[in-house]
Amino acid sequence: MLWEIWGRHKWIFPLHVAALAASVCAVCWKEHGAPENSLGLVYLISSCCFTASFIHLLACFGYIEVDARRVQLGFPGRLLLKPVSTTRLVLVPMFFGGAIIVTVFATWTELVLRHLVAIPASSLLWSSTVLLSFFWWMQGLAWGLSWLKGRVCIDISMAVIHLLAGCLPMMPVSGLSRWQWPILIALLVSAVPASWIGLKLMRQGRWEGPSRISMLWSRLRWARARGRRKRFGSAFGAQLWLEWRRQGLLLPGLTGATALLVCPIALFAHEQMMVSSVMLIMPLLLSGLLAPALAKFDQLQSMAELPVYIAVRPITNAGLVAVKLVMALATSALTWVVALAAIGLWLALTGPGTLLSKAASVTPYGLAGLAIGCLPVLLLLVIWTWKNLVSGVGVGLTGRAWIGMASVSCRLALYTGLTALVAAAKLFVSFSETLLHWLPGLLMAGLAAKIALSVAAFVWGLRRNAITANWALAIIGGWLVCGLLVAGYAGLVCNAINKPGLWVCTALAGWLVLPLADLAIAPLALAWNRHR
């Protein structure tokens, strides 16, 4: 089993070492005379490397595989039939995986994290034990309950339990301190028999086939929908229903789950602003992470595969792409409704008076005026989230892994270059002034290149009959309207903060980042993939 993990991931393990080395170098630079304004860069590098490295290790040693045929995420099915005891199947990945996870965590803490955040030495053992317990429970739940639809709710509940358990030392409850370790040890130890029982029952095939609960729920939903069922008005409507069903609630669900995780932390840390700040950033961050999933028609298939059933649907490539774009817009809007509802609920529960009255005093029109004034901002946030989701849809629909990798590499290079430019501008004042002087020209050149590329893409698409003139007009019209909205609001904000000189750059940047060429080539990309 360990050889198998090594064989699959041996080319990625050096990257872990490289990530750790990069973070150690950043920390050393911080402690040996790095400028004050570069600390943010150090934190950014270290946190990104740590997060990426750790998530990969959890996935690697969690020993969880996807069974696309049965739509399950659980223990590798091929091992269940091997002449190996269940005890060994359970203990090997748990103990070896746990040991490696804890060792890597301790290494990162000692070499990097302790130099960035004030972590007492005594908390390392506590943190490692919480992490180990969480890791074992995630393994056990994935192995034993892979058949259970909605298992993600149990996973999230267990994550919240571990988060609360981890926060036990910080809880201002008298008498709790002597129960901290017994609670944690009980949580840790109980994971092993729970995993063993789950895997044993899975191995015996006790849970083969749909569960009675699942069947009953399915029948209840069918009976409820029976009288109300209407035909779809069009093929577009039917495909939109399918897309929404497959991934429409993913982003709003993750945003809501984030709120559930953040609120207890904010409560214990007495940070009223934390929830609002996190909920305003999370949808934008999550939408960027979920963008590759939008191009897929079935989440359990690889990026390259277009399900045969979708490929033979009597609907045009442009129609399929339009469905994805509309679904992305709807999910973005719902996500922000969830985010604002979470913020509103948080403010209502924790006493909104101070925060809202401060915000209302910004404008002479009071709270109502503030709410109305924020509507364009909300619209912009929805558009921004939608932009994050659909960026790269053209690349994803090609179904070619090499194009995806090339796109990711180009984006990484671009973001690295931009980050380096910003960092250099912060460090060197003269460079900052030169950059600001040339920035409008650079943005205009970029915009001109974008328009030229988009025109070429539209012409190509029209010649290949992959898109119609109406499609092209709709995309261009949408781009212009969104760009005008961004430019308009940017003008208001720049005027309000007394920096009218920034308006041109902001407006140009808005038009530059809004997707245009990507949407023009998306139907062509799908056509390339559809009839392989």
Of 1, 242, 360, 502, which one interacts with other proteins (CB under 8 A)? Answer: 242
Q: Does 530 bind other proteins (CB under 8 A)?
A: no
Give residue 375's Cα distance to chain centre: 25
Q: Does 56 bind other proteins (CB under 8 A)?
A: no
3-state secondary structure 446-507: HHHHHHHHHHHHHHHHHHCCCCCHHHHHHHHHHHHHHHHHHHHHHHHHHHHCCCCCHHHHHH
Of 107, 123, 177, 218, which one interacts with other proteins (CB under 8 A)? Answer: 218
Residue 104 contacts residue 163 (beta carbons within 8 Å): no
Q: Is 11 helix (H, G, I), strand (E, B) or coil?
A: coil
Residue type, 266: A
Min separation Cβ 244 and other proteins, Å: 12
Q: Does 299 bind other proteins (CB under 8 A)?
A: no
Distance CA 142, CA 121 (A): 33
Q: Which two tokens stand for residue 319?
A: 């129609």
Of 315, 370, 422, 504, which one interacts with other proteins (CB under 8 A)? Answer: 315
Q: Is 325 helix (H, G, I), strand (E, B) or coil?
A: helix
Where does residue 140 rank: exposed (0-12), middle (13-18), buried (19+ CB within 10 A)?
buried
Q: Does 419 bind other proteins (CB under 8 A)?
A: no
Q: Quick one: which segment of 89-97, 240-248, 273-281, 397-405 binds other proteins (CB under 8 A)? A: 240-248
Q: Does 210 bind other proteins (CB under 8 A)?
A: yes
Q: Which two tokens stand for residue 158?
A: 């267990």
Of 43, 54, 96, 241, which one interacts with other proteins (CB under 8 A)? Answer: 241
Distance CA 334, CA 255 (A): 10
Alpha carbon dihedral 68, 69, 75, 76, in 10-degree steps, equals: -90
Q: Does 152 bind other proteins (CB under 8 A)?
A: no
Map tokens 């740590």 to a residue: 50
Q: Which is nearer to other proteins, 228 or 463 (CB)?
A: 228
Pattern of binders to other proteins over 220-239, x per CB under 8 A? -xxx-xx--x-xxxxx-xx-
Q: Does 301 bind other proteins (CB under 8 A)?
A: no
Residue type, 300: L
Pattern of binders to other proteins over 158-197, x per CB under 8 A? ----------------------------------------
Q: Does 400 bind other proteins (CB under 8 A)?
A: no
Min separation Cβ 307 and other proteins, Å: 13
Distance CA 208, CA 206 (A): 6
Binding site for other proteins (CB under 8 A): 70-71, 209-210, 214-215, 218-219, 221-223, 225-226, 229, 231-235, 237-238, 241-242, 245, 313-315
